[in-house]
Chains A and B, each alone.
Chain A
Amino acid sequence: MVMDCQNFKELLDSYLCGELAVETNHTMLCHAERCCSCRSEMAARRQLRESLRRVCSREKMSDQAMENLRTRLRSEAGLGAGQSRSGDEVGRRSWFAGLFKMRFLMPAAVVAALTLLIAAAWSLYVLRREDPSNQQKISRLSSEQIEALELSGSLISESVGDHRTCAAHFVDATGPAEMPDSIRKYDSACVRLDKIAAEGAAGLLLRSAHICGFGERKFAHLVYTRDRQLISLLVTARDSQALKSGRVPPFDGLALGTQRFTSDHLALGAYQTIKRIILVVSDLPENENTALTERLAKPVAEHLRSAEAELEPEKRVGRLNLRED
């Protein structure tokens, strides 16, 4: 199909809903890259969708109406309004209710416990790993600093595009996958990327490890699956096109934590180091994706950060060849 501006605008809503075929998505993105007016139309419609969600989501039933609803349900069920909470039923049904609540509370308790455990393990890991003298100071960033570190729309579209177009090919690939040696030419710090990421990849199946490109951007790409859901870990250069401001401010990345986005129904989580950006893109809900990013991308960010710290500033530029043509 020839993608002109007319076609682009007709398909844009379907594109934003994630309904188009992989090839069409690719054609859309290629057109947007070349056509400034379609690119801004895409941004405007995306803003409109987000705004629509915000305005609609803030509408809530009043507490009074919810209370009335519960009362009416109880009376419809032939139960007194306060029956479940008082009266001589309580003793008899308390174990019932207890069981019932357990069913709902148990998962929450397990999640809370696991989160605490992971948090504790993580802080131990960080403390053990980092020499106190070398430990980077975690400071609170100002809103201007955070703004300067905002990822660009093009990086987000390219990452999402790469996930959509590339990762899908590997959904049934048979492992074990290993990063090819040619990665050295692209980014020597990514040589053992699959092994480093394996630390946080419990429960995920590595389907492929390779270098790929989407639009102008190159990625080191690890493709994982979990129950047929695709998860991409992408490492790319932190260059001026990767950040919204068009500049690359120096920073250690630690204070920023995970950056999170949703684009075209796909959740993205990102970490930045001085030279690179690590992204986790998946079709998981945003919260799950963020948790996964913490698990999967953080060790990679730590590894890349130490690799970058080992290099002398002047050698750093020479040795890293992130955007090879």
Chain B
Amino acid sequence: MEQNDRLQRLETFEAEALGFSGQLFRVALRVCRDRERAEDLVQETYLQAWRSFHRFETGTNLRAWLYKILFNVYHSGIRRERLELAPIEETIAETIAYDPPTPQHLTDEEVLIALERIPRDFQVPVVLADVDELSYREIADALQVPLGTVMSRLHRGRKLLRMELANYARNAGYQIAN
């Protein structure tokens, strides 16, 4: 009987949570920059989530909860591996005073290349906000940074993306509006 309960709980968990695996994976891919590591990160996230599923309040935001676990797992993994993120914010802030017009008619591949070129501290909020449509509050909770930081990273991230694209377009001889 106890096993039946466990099975039922697991099936409930799978039915409710596994649907977000695609969204979690695409964010994992942005932070890990490697498919295999991203898949490991998502697996680890789900295992952690399952372990604390009994603490999850039904009716609250499951997706936001999963994102939060994902970044927790990611950050604790980084500490273990002694990887460091370079302090990039200052250097970047100086380079983005100029906001060039956004080039048109770029291919999806070109957009992806540009996205991958921007530092992940900026890339991740852009994906969370503009692709997954998380609210600022949800992003702040998931990344465990203040709301103001989310807004400034998002603003700079979008600007950096446009700059990458403009540079790309200029080099490739694309016409830019204006």
Contact = CB atoms under 8 A, between A and B. Distances in A.
Contact of A78 (B6, B14, B112): B6
B50 A65 contact: no
Given A59-B25, A60-B25, A77-B7, A53 B131 contact: yes
B162 A66 contact: no
B89 interface: no
A253 B126 CA distance: 39
A44 B43 contact: no
Contacts of B42: 61, 65, 69
B10 A79 contact: yes
Interface string B142-178: 0000000000000100100110010000000000011
Given A44-B177, A48-B102, A61 B22 contact: yes
Q: At the interface, is chain B mostly helix, strand, loop or mixed? A: helix
Contact of B25 (A61, A84, A265): A61
Contacts of A128: none
A87 B42 CA distance: 30
B97 interface: no
B115 A52 contact: yes
Contacts of B51: 76
A43 B101 CA distance: 11
A104 B18 CA distance: 14
Given A48-B162, A53-B130, A100-B8, A73 B14 contact: yes
How many residues of B sit at the interface, in one of the four size bands?
A: 35 or more
A77 B50 contact: yes
Nearest to B24: A61
Contact of B6 (A62, A79, A100, A104): A79
Which residue, of A51, A56, A79, has the highest number of chain B Cβ atoms within 10 A?
A56
Interface string B1-23: 00110111111111100100110
Contacts, number: 126
Interface string A190-212: 00000000000000000000000
Given A37-B178, A59-B26, A68 B7 contact: no
A44 B50 contact: no
Interface in A122-149: none
Contacts of A83: 7
B127 interface: yes
A54 B115 CA distance: 13
Interface in A57-112: 57, 59-62, 65-66, 68-70, 72-74, 76-79, 83-84, 89, 92-93, 96-97, 100, 104
A13 B14 contact: no
Which residue, of B26, B46, B101, B111, has the highest number of chain A Cβ atoms within 10 A?
B111
A72 B22 contact: no
A55 B129 contact: no
A119 interface: no
Contacts of A52: 111, 115, 126-127, 130-131, 161
A53 B26 CA distance: 11
Nearest to A61: B25
B161 A48 contact: yes
A133 B128 CA distance: 55
B4 A89 contact: yes
B148 to A, nearest CB: 15
Contacts of A53: 130-131
B30 to A, nearest CB: 8
Given A48-B111, A72-B47, A84 B165 contact: no
Interface in A1-45: 9, 13, 17, 37, 40-41, 43-45
Interface in B83-123: 99, 101-109, 111-112, 115
Given A44-B103, A48-B106, A73-B13, 13 more contacts: A37-B177, A37-B178, A41-B178, A43-B104, A47-B104, A48-B111, A51-B108, A52-B161, A54-B108, A59-B26, A76-B51, A77-B6, A100-B11
